[in-house]
Amino acid sequence: MNVRPLKIGIACYPLIGGSGILATALGMALAQRGHEVHFFSYERPVRLDLAQPRLHFHEVVVNRYDLFKYPDYTLPLAVRMAEVARTAALDILHVHYAVPHATAAWLAVQLLRGNGSVETVPRIVTTLHGTDTTLLGQDPGYRSAIEHALVHSDLVTTVSESLRRQTHATFPLLAQAGRKIAVVPNFFTPAEPTQSRAKTRRDLGVTDDEFLIVHTSNLRPVKRIDLLLETVAAARAQTRARLRLLVLAGGAFAPYAARAKALGLHGDQVIVRENVLAVDDYLHAADVGIYPSENESFGLSILETMFHGRPVLAFRVGGIPEVVPEPATLPAFGDVPALAAQLDELAASPALAARLGARNREHAQRHFSAERIVPRYEAIYEART
Ligand code: GMT
């Protein structure tokens, strides 16, 4: 390691979801590079392997009181971060997803300053992941609190240039206060598949000559599962290949079942697996990934699919053009016929699918590997503002 070992606190959501997955991967990579890393969350992040050296997890316990209709998480999180910052002498508090982590980090630093128990307080780095700006940043109940926490962070990062622009537009005080935003893209390290592609396909009941489409997300409205189903249905009507859709769902698929049926996607044409923690076997077994989101600050699932050497179909929205190698080929948002035509072309030509998949993998490895991105966070931790 070229930089001095640091003591870094990371606060994130523990669940399946881009921001928590990225934060966990970052913390584990930092620990491997010699830093001491302390995670804060209400549960152990799903991909956090505490068997590795230099990794710690501090559970934030939220007690229930009859007095409160809504339990509060921000204060116990701030108190826990302040305690650990003091006892472990943390250099950095790196919070992922502004709400409520950035406000809690600011409060933790105020607590440390207030009781005079430390000589230096940790520096706060806030990484915005998307909906903390694009959704909650528009909510009058949150906006000014997020803006305050960002202005009082030592550094704010976004996962794409697109999100950086949106953040400046949403929180004008940042620029007025002379605060810069650094863009640090997401990264991913694919796991080796635990079994062969043929075995995973057999387990799914997918034959060799079928074209397997994968979609992995939390299925929230922004992911536009309606457009995913419409694209597959439209392509099915025009292609000679037999298409199957695999949905790796971090949320309930049931609300979309009727729409799938209405579009003629019956029974085994749509395979759903809920709460899958290890996506690698499935991405390895798939032939293409489709992600028709209406907005996406980055699209970590797209990157995961690219790392597995598969072509990706998506619309030209948010940060997606910054992730894929040929952004000009992305159709405008909502152009389902164009997406279906691209799907048809890939399903008809395994050679084309293989070529685009290989190009994706090469692009992902070149621009979005841990080796390339993690040192950029290290440089940010060391930079003086
Ligand atoms: O919408 C999600 O998939 C979850 C959300 C999150 O905060 O975990 O994802 C956001 O952060 C990811 C990691 O940086 C990005 O890859 C996603 O594009 C972003 N989601 C949106 O912008 C809608």
Q: Where are the domains of the chain?
A: 7-187+369-383, 197-367
**Is the separation of the CB atoms in 251 and 273 below 8 Å?**
no
pLDDT attached to residue 384: 63
pLDDT attached to residue 268: 86
Q: For 227-242, b where at least 16 C-beta lie within 10 A, e where not — what string?
A: bbbbbbbbbbeebebe
- Bridge-based pairing of strands 270-274 and 55-59 is unpaired
Instruction: Determine how many CB atoms are found less than 10 A away from the CB of residue 30.
Output: 26
197-367 shares the fold of 7-187+369-383: yes
CATH topology of domain 197-367: Rossmann fold (3.40.50)
Ligand 1: lining residues by beta carbon, under 6 Å: 17-19, 22, 97, 129-131, 159, 186, 217-218, 220, 222, 295-300
CATH number of 7-187+369-383: 3.40.50.2000
Q: How far is the CA of 21 from the centre of ligand 1 (A)?
A: 10
* pLDDT per position as a tens digit, 77-106: 999 999 999 999 999 999 999 999 999 999
- Regarding pTM above 0.85, the answer is yes
pLDDT attached to residue 1: 55
Q: How far is the CA of 4 from the centre of ligand 1 (A)?
A: 31
- The residue nearest atom 5 of ligand 1, judged by CA position, is 18
pLDDT attached to residue 276: 86
Rounded Cα gap, residues 82 and 123, in angstroms: 12
Task: Return averaged pLDDT per consecutive 10 residues of the chain, 385 residues in all.
Answer: 87 91 97 98 94 97 94 97 97 98 98 86 97 96 98 98 98 95 97 94 96 96 97 90 93 94 90 90 97 98 98 98 98 98 96 98 98 98 77
- The residue nearest atom 12 of ligand 1, judged by CA position, is 18
